[in-house]
Structures are given as C-alpha cells and as structure tokens.
Amino acid sequence: MHTDAGADSLATRAATAFRAFRDGDASGMSRLVDDVTPLLWSVARQQGVSRQHAEDVVQNAWLKLVEHAASIADPQSVLKWLITTTKRDAWTRVARAQREQPGTAQDVRDVEPDATAPSPEGAVVAAEESTLVRSHFARLPARCQTLLRAVAFADRPDYAHVAAALGMPVGSIGPTRGRCLAKLRASLTADPRWEMTT
Amino acid sequence: MTPPENELHLAGQPLDALDAVLLAEIRDLHSDLDPVPGDLLDRVKFAMSVASLEAQVAEIVSDEGLASVRGTDFSRADTVTFARDGLSVMVTIESAGTARVDIVGWVSEGEVEIELRERGRTRTTSTDDDGRFVFTGVERGLVNFVLRRQGVAGAPPVITPAIEL
C-alpha cells in the first residue's frame, strides 16, 4: 500500500496545480477550484453553517491558500490544508453563532428544516434505492456522515488523506472499508427493503 | 455499545463495488439536496485572481446585448466597456463559427499588455499604436482580461470581471 495518493487523486492534482501556481502559472488553479470546491462545501456544511456562511468559508479557504502560498512547504499537503482550513473556519463560525445566540441548534437541519428535504426535481427522480440510502445515511453518527459525505466528493486514493484531514482515526476509510461504511452496509443489509432493490 | 460482529468484519474488508455505488449515491443525494451554489466557483476564481495579482478590479461601464455577466444567467456579450482609474477598454466580440469568437478591443492609453484568461489557458498580446488588440479563435465560455500598463512603473494590474462569450 502506498501512503501517498496516486496520480489519479485530488491530492496529487492539487499538488501539481499548486506547484505551477507558485511558479507563476495559474492556469491549473481554475480546474482545481472546480474539482475541490464540492468537497470543501461538504465539509463546511457538515459543520453546521448556513449555505450563505458556507459560501464565505469556502471562498476564504481558497483566498487563504493564495495568501499563504509561500509558507506551504509540501504541495502534496495542499488538499489537506484546504480541508482543515475549511473545517476550522466553519467550526469557529458555528461556535461564535452559538455564543451570540445561546440555545441555537447545532444541527443545521434544525435551523434550516428544508436543507435535507428533497428538491422538487430531486423528489421526482429519487429512486427507491437512493431513498433507502438516504434514510440509512441519516441514521449514522454525525462524524460518519461528515466523513462519508466528504469522501464521496474525493477520489478513491484520497480517502485516507481526507479522513486524516477531518481528524478521523487512521483506518477510518482507505484500503479497508472502515467503520462508517461498514455501519451503513450493515444497516442497509438488515433492511428488508434493501434486498428488493439489489 | 460494542458494534455487532458483522459490522467489525465488514469494516476490515477492502472497499468493493457496492461501496463505490453507495458513495456515488451519497454524492448524488447531497448534490441534489444541498448543491454548491451556481456562481460560487466563478466568485472564488475571480477573488483568487484579484488576490494573487494584487490587482485593481475594473467595472463594467457599458454593455450592449449583455444582460448579466455575474450570477448564473450569463447572456452573450457583443460589446463591453470596462474602466478603472482612467484606464478604459472596449471589447467587441465577433462570432467565428459556433464554438469560437474573435475579440477586438481598444484601450484608452498606449502601451498596455493584455492577458486573456480562458478556462485553463491564458494568452497575452499588446496594443498596437492605435491602442487596438485582437485575439482570434477564442473558445466560447467565461473569460476575463488582465491589463498591465507598460509605461508606468509599479502600476498594479487591472483585472476585469468575467464575461460570457
């Protein structure tokens, strides 16, 4: 097993684009923003910030990358740096909001009841299988939801890297499935409706 | 609570095709329920450009056939004028087939280098004696310009918001 991510991984593409950017060629950064922003968006939202604040958090993470470009020693750690920065910023905002408004619900879904409701188009296309996955996913512990949602927006060689950036224990996901995916599979397998769709 | 034996066993196994299906499902459902806002990517890129260039941002002072250049409902620009601190640039877009356009522009002062930023690619030209510049065969899509005054030492570059060709 390789500890560093392979060629077809977000971490490596991030490193390549960042190295070029530091050498004065910013052309790869545009694609990197396209590739990595959905992952950062997931991380910010799972911390419980509103959509509007998540926009600020994600944009700030990229701006901080530009600002601190000279001080990032290892380009291979850029993806991790972006995830960590996003998570920390989002967390700080949530903590601040709670301090200012004691009693504010921590879970964003309590604040925005619509956040997990299917969009009109979503409701139409939602197949039975995805409805099942959604309901079992929603029953996972919050940390598992955060991990799985984040890795779902990364490439497979990045899983361990993303888990580490989120502060999850080594082996949370990677070459082996890890506890969170195992929980989801065990929970689905125990549901008789799941049998019907597979 | 001790997790069931089945779960521990599953956790130690390698990732398989069903895991890939489940993760794709998780990805799709979140893309549906809580999508990345449509204009966030462009706002991030523009903010990064300005920050990394330490540039001044030009404003769009007039546009013809251009309803909106920010946000998600981009319309096709024909002629756009940008200005910042006395430097103005007018850009005319001429169709060159279905997928490409030619760009002809005029800058209000001489000796300006113009960089055209397309998605994942940039090219550079300079104004001629009349302040005119041309980029041919530009792929349709979002672009913006960076202008650098050659005659003025230490002048910060001027960057234009993105326009949809």
Which whole-number Å values give the CA distances from B17 to A54, A132, A142, A156, B47, in the listed order?
Answer: 32, 18, 24, 12, 39
Residue A83 within a domain: yes
CA dihedral B17, B11, A130, A157 (to 10 degrees): -50
What pLDDT does A108 receive?
46
At A9-35, the pLDDT tens digits run: 999 999 999 999 888 887 788 889 999
Residue A45 within a domain: yes
| Residue B43 forms contact with A (CB below 8 Å) | yes
Residue A4 within a domain: no
Contact between residue A21 and residue A28 where contact means Cβ atoms under 8 Å apart: yes
CB atoms within 10 A of CB B121: 12
- How many Cα atoms sit within 13 Å of A126 on the Cβ side? 21
Number of domains in chain A: 1
Residue A37 within a domain: yes
Residues on chain A touching B48 (C-beta within 8 angstroms):
26, 29, 33, 62-63, 65-66
Residue A108 within a domain: yes
What pLDDT does A110 receive?
43
H helix and E strand count, chain B: 3, 11
Residues on chain A touching B19 (C-beta within 8 angstroms):
177, 181, 185
At A78-93, the pLDDT tens digits run: 999 999 999 999 999 9
Residue A147 within a domain: yes
Residue of A nearest to B9 (CA): A182
Determine, for residues B19 and A177 on separate chains, whether the beta-carbon distance falls below 8 Å.
Answer: yes
**Helix, strand, coil content of chain B in percent (nearest 5):** 25, 40, 35
Residue A99 within a domain: yes
SS (H, E, C) chain A: CCCCCCCCCHHHHHHHHHHHHHCCCCHHHHHHHHHHHHHHHHHHHHCCCCHHHHHHHHHHHHHHHHHCHHHCCCHHHHHHHHHHHHHHHHHHHHHHHHHHCCCCCCCHHHHCCCCCCCCHHHHHHCCHHHHHHHHHHHCCCHHHHHHHHHHCCCCHHHHHHHHHHCCCCCCCCCCECHHHHHHHHHHHHCCHHHHHHC
Alpha carbons A151 and A159: distance in angstroms, whole number: 6
> What is the domain range of residue A43?
10-197
| Residue B23 forms contact with A (CB below 8 Å) | yes
Between the ranges A39-48, A66-75, A94-103, B63-72, where is the mean pLDDT highest? A39-48
| Residue B26 forms contact with A (CB below 8 Å) | yes
- CATH architecture assignment, domain B40-164: Sandwich (2.60)
| Residue B134 forms contact with A (CB below 8 Å) | no
Contact between residue B141 and residue B164 where contact means Cβ atoms under 8 Å apart: yes
Determine, for residues B10 and A177 on separate chains, whether the beta-carbon distance falls below 8 Å.
Answer: yes
| Residue B14 forms contact with A (CB below 8 Å) | yes
Q: What is the ipTM of this complex?
A: 0.83
- How many Cα atoms sit within 13 Å of A117 on the Cβ side? 6
At B92-139, the pLDDT tens digits run: 998 888 889 999 999 998 889 999 988 767 899 999 999 999 999 998
The residue with greater pLDDT, A105 or A68, is A68
Short-list A165, A2, A154, A5, CA closest to A81? A165
At A166-194, the pLDDT tens digits run: 999 888 998 899 999 999 999 999 998 88
Split at pLDDT 50, 70, 90, the class of A133 is very high
What pLDDT does A27 receive?
76
Those of residues 29-58 in A touching chain B at CB distance below 8 A are 29-31, 33-34, 37-38, 41-42, 45, 51, 55, 58
Split at pLDDT 50, 70, 90, the class of A196 is low
| Residue B139 forms contact with A (CB below 8 Å) | no
pLDDT tops 70 at residue A52 = yes
What pLDDT does B65 receive?
53
What pLDDT does B77 receive?
53
Contact between residue A133 and residue A112 where contact means Cβ atoms under 8 Å apart: no
Residue A61, token pair as written in the block: 């993470």
| Residue A18 forms contact with B (CB below 8 Å) | no
Contact between residue B147 and residue B157 where contact means Cβ atoms under 8 Å apart: yes
**Going residue by residue through chain B (165 aa), what tens digit of pLDDT does each one get?**
556 778 899 999 999 999 999 999 999 999 999 999 988 998 899 888 888 888 888 888 877 655 444 444 444 558 899 999 889 999 999 888 888 999 999 999 888 999 998 876 789 999 999 999 999 999 888 888 999 998 877 888 999 888 888
Sign of torsion over alpha carbons B53, B59, B65, B68: positive
Determine, for residues B15 and A156 on separate chains, whether the beta-carbon distance falls below 8 Å.
Answer: yes
Residue A154 within a domain: yes
Alpha carbons A161 and A4: distance in angstroms, whole number: 8
Residue A195, token pair as written in the block: 């049998």
The region of weakest confidence among A56-65, A145-154, B21-30, B150-159 is: B150-159
Global model pTM greater than 0.95: no
Alpha carbons A184 and A139: distance in angstroms, whole number: 9
Determine, for residues B26 and A148 on separate chains, whether the beta-carbon distance falls below 8 Å.
Answer: yes
pLDDT tops 50 at residue A105 = no
Alpha carbons A41 and A59: distance in angstroms, whole number: 10
pLDDT tops 90 at residue A4 = no
Determine, for residues A26 and B49 on separate chains, whether the beta-carbon distance falls below 8 Å.
Answer: yes
Which whole-number Å values give the CA distances from B32 to A59, A72, A117, A177, in the listed order?
Answer: 21, 34, 10, 25
Determine, for residues B10 and A26 on separate chains, whether the beta-carbon distance falls below 8 Å.
Answer: no
Determine, for residues A181 and B119 on separate chains, whether the beta-carbon distance falls below 8 Å.
Answer: no
Contact between residue A83 and residue A162 where contact means Cβ atoms under 8 Å apart: yes
Q: What is the mean pLDDT of residues A124-145?
A: 83
Determine, for residues A130 and B14 on separate chains, whether the beta-carbon distance falls below 8 Å.
Answer: no
How large a percentage of chain A has pLDDT more than 90? 61
pLDDT tops 70 at residue A36 = yes
Contact between residue B122 and residue A27 where contact means Cβ atoms under 8 Å apart: yes
Residues on chain A touching B27 (C-beta within 8 angstroms):
152-153
Short-list B71, B95, B61, B82, CA closest to B160? B82
Residue A157, token pair as written in the block: 């060689």
Short-list A196, A154, A194, CA closest to A174? A154
Determine, for residues B8 and A33 on separate chains, whether the beta-carbon distance falls below 8 Å.
Answer: no
In the chain, the amino acid numbered B133 is F
Between chain A and chain B, the number of residue pairs with CB atoms below 8 A apart is 138
